[in-house]
Structure 1
Amino acid sequence: MAEGNAQSRYVRLTKEQAPVEDITPGELNQPIEVPQLIVHRCHECGQTLPESYQPPADEDWTTGICGCADDTESCLSGLFCPCVLFGRNVETLREDILWTNACVCHAICVEGGMAVAAATALLHGIDPKTSFLICESLFFAWWMCGIYTGLFRQSLQKKYHLKNSPCDPCLVHCCMHSCALCQEHREMKNHLSDNAVMPTTAVDPPPIQQMSSSNEEKTDSASPPEPSKDPESNNLELQPL
């Protein structure tokens, strides 16, 4: 009786009841990415690496931070138009980012803050009322210069296993922004030139081998060797031991 009086757990569906949600064919058969199954392996030995593994930064930069004169083109671009040079560097490092997007972001964050400070000083002069706006604009440009461009310098160091030279990437861009951009451009240019020129070894193809189907060669190779016709070789003597 207790079982009969208990409420049923099943709900009867009616024809008027609409489906909860529409499911397109094939929607439930999509592959699912499981983060626990994504394993990072070493490129040389294939050993499984932990998630917290960071490649060792033990390589030196090919050029110094003050070697801007080694490349005249990048030196002029970094001095008079650093946003364009930064965009070119980002496009070389990250193929999914266009150089125009990085150039516009650099121009708005860095050059934009400096332009606001310069325009405020020229139009309204430097007084207690405008000094706060000027300092705020310069600080914004300096902070964005170090953080935004320093992150890409850090990505470059991880890609080529480079050391912090001469100090942290963000501090390098805060203190020597133009020199850092020129150094990064020369570094990627040197690595690309090294990858382009690869030593090649000339290997001669093996000689062409032809199969002969003549009956004479088959008979000669299959027939046993003829006995020697020398009479001396047939006379064998048995000597007691």
Structure 2
Amino acid sequence: MASSVPNEKAPPSEAQPATNPQATSNSDPSKAPATAYPQQQPNQYVVGVPPQQGQIPMWSTGLFDCFDDLPTLIITAFAPCVTFGQVAEMVDRGQNSCLVLGGLHAGLLYFTGLGCLLSAYFRIRMVQMYNLPNDPVINILVHLVCEPCALCQEYRELQAHGFDMKLGLGWKGQSPEIQQTGGAMVPPTVPGGMTR
């Protein structure tokens, strides 16, 4: 027979979550009142928190995934200054045009053979902009050893961030959202406050 003393505590194995008195008298869980809250499982995600918050940002594609975009690979193999100009204009947020930056790269490449140092500089800026794995020495070596692969990876990364990389479109041809954020992933804004 159950005790009628209200302050008597149940043993730990019989502990139940606090609910209204009507729910404790009803043994059928399907008939529980709407005010009873289910217990959360220990491994459930919290609603409203994106699961990727704790993950380290990575490149959207690998360095040697060049064959995923053959037209860009072909252009980069024969004229790296074109791909570099497009990438650098987006990283530079339109302060210098694709023609100016591509011409500078072509001049450095033709006269000194060190156009890869200029493209490595813009890769480092892109890494800082999108919080990608940052090791300046590795970024410079990637451009020294395999500049076409590095340029193609940067081109694909900008596409993954929402840039429209069609030749001739440039920074001014990008959507206002891209121009405002620079392709950086920003959390969505919730209109108004919480209402109940």
User: 2:89, 2:98 within 8 Å by CA — same for their partners in 1?
Assistant: yes
Runs of 4 or more above 6 Å deviation: 198-201
Which residue pairs with 2:86 in the alignment?
88
Gaps of 5+ in 1: 1-57, 114-139, 202-241
Rounded to whole Å, the distance in 2 between the matches of 1:192 and 1:162 is: 16
How far is 1:169 from its partner?
A: 1.3
Superposed counterparts of 1:214-229, under 5 Å: none
CA RMSD of aligned residues (A): 2.8
Larger-gyration structure (1/2): 1
Secondary structure of residue in 1 paired with 2:128: helix
In 2, Cα distance between the equivalents of 1:167 and 1:145?
16
Of residues 116, 123, 126, the one that matches 1:156 is 126
Task: Name 1:76's counterpart in structure 2.
Answer: 74
Measure how far apart 1:71 and its partner are: 1.4
SS of residue paired to 1:168: helix
Q: Name the SS of the counterpart of 1:176 in structure 2.
A: helix
Amino acid at match of 2:100: N
Compared CA separation, residues 168 and 178, structure 1 to 2 (3 A): same
Q: Amino acid of the residue matched to residue 174 of structure 1?
A: L
Aligned match of 2:152 in 182, 196, 212? Answer: 182
User: How many residues are aligned here?
Assistant: 116
- Distance (Å, rounded) in 2 between the aligned partners of 1:200 and 1:161: 21
Contact 1:146 1:171 in 2 (8 A): no
Letter in 1 for 2:68: D
Q: d(CA) in 2 for partners of 1:61 and 1:167?
A: 17
Using the aligned pairs only, state the percent identity: 31
Q: Using the alignment, how far apart are the partners of 1:66 and 1:147 within structure 2? A: 20
Q: Look up the SS of the partner of 2:162 in the other structure.
A: helix
What amino acid does structure 1 have at the position aligned with 2:66? Answer: C
Tell me the TM-score normalised to structure 1 length: 0.43
Distance 1:199 1:71, change over 3 A: farther
Shift of 1:154: 0.1
User: How much does 1:73 deviate?
Assistant: 2.3
Matched letter for residue 97 of structure 1:
N
Counterpart-to-counterpart distance in 1, 2:136 and 2:121: 16
CA 1:169–1:162: 2 relative to 1, 3 Å:
same
Alpha-carbon separation, structure 2, partners of 1:72 and 1:165: 28
Q: State how far apart, in whole Å, the 2-side matches of 1:105 and 1:67 are.
A: 27
Matches within 5 A, 1:9-28: none
* 1:159 partner amino acid: M
> 1:60 and 2:58 equivalent?
yes
Residues 32-53 of structure 1 show CA distances to partners (whole Å, capped at 9, x for unaligned) of xxxxxxxxxxxxxxxxxxxxxx
User: Measured at CA, do residues 166 and 158 of structure 1 come closer, stay the same or move farther in structure 2, by a change above 3 Å?
Assistant: closer
Normalization by structure 2: what TM-score?
A: 0.52
Structure 2 unaligned residues grouped into runs of 5+: 1-55, 164-176, 179-186, 191-196
